[in-house]
Amino acid sequence: MSGTVSPAATTARAAIKRAFSARLVLSSAAAGGLIGQSTGQDKLYELKALLETMDRLPGRVWKSFHLIGASSPRFRYKGGKIIRHQWPHIQMRIAGQPYAELWNNIEFASLSAIDEGRQPGYPTYADTHELDIIVTKIGQPDGYPRYDELKFGVEVKDRPYNKELLKALLGVRREMAYVFSGHGPAGVCPFAWWPMHGPGAVPDSALVAFASGGDITKYDGPEARFGLKMVHLP
- 66-93 confidence digits (pLDDT tens): 999 876 678 988 899 999 999 999 999 9
What's the whole-number mean pLDDT along residues 29-54?
90
Predicted pLDDT of residue 50? 97
What's the whole-number mean pLDDT along residues 194-202?
80
**Would 161 be classed as within a structural domain?**
yes
**Would 228 be classed as within a structural domain?**
yes
Of the pLDDT bands very low, low, confident and very high (cuts 50, 70, 90), residue 183 is: low
Pairing relationship of beta strands 89-94 and 97-109 according to DSSP bridges: antiparallel
**Would 159 be classed as within a structural domain?**
yes
Provide the percentage of residues in the chain whose pLDDT is more than 90: 74
Contact predicate 128/107, CB 8 Å: yes
Of the pLDDT bands very low, low, confident and very high (cuts 50, 70, 90), residue 6 is: confident
**Would 44 be classed as within a structural domain?**
no
Whether the pLDDT of residue 15 is over 70: the answer is: yes
Predicted pLDDT of residue 60? 73
Q: CA triplet 220, 218, 181: central angle to 5 degrees?
A: 20
Dihedral sign computed on CA atoms, order 220, 215, 150, 109: positive
Predicted pLDDT of residue 1? 43
Q: Which domain holds residue 136?
A: 61-232
Whether the pLDDT of residue 144 is over 90: the answer is: yes
Q: Which of 72-86, 126-140, 146-160 has the lowest mean pLDDT?
A: 72-86
**Would 147 be classed as within a structural domain?**
yes
Structural domains counted in the chain:
1
Q: At what angle do helices 41-56 and 7-24 cross, to 10 degrees?
A: 30
Pairing relationship of beta strands 207-211 and 228-232 according to DSSP bridges: parallel
**Would 172 be classed as within a structural domain?**
yes
**Would 113 be classed as within a structural domain?**
yes
Element of type H or E holding 47: helix 41-56
What's the whole-number mean pLDDT along residues 179-184?
62
Of the pLDDT bands very low, low, confident and very high (cuts 50, 70, 90), residue 202 is: confident
Q: Which residue has the higher pLDDT, 36 or 61?
A: 36
**Would 196 be classed as within a structural domain?**
yes
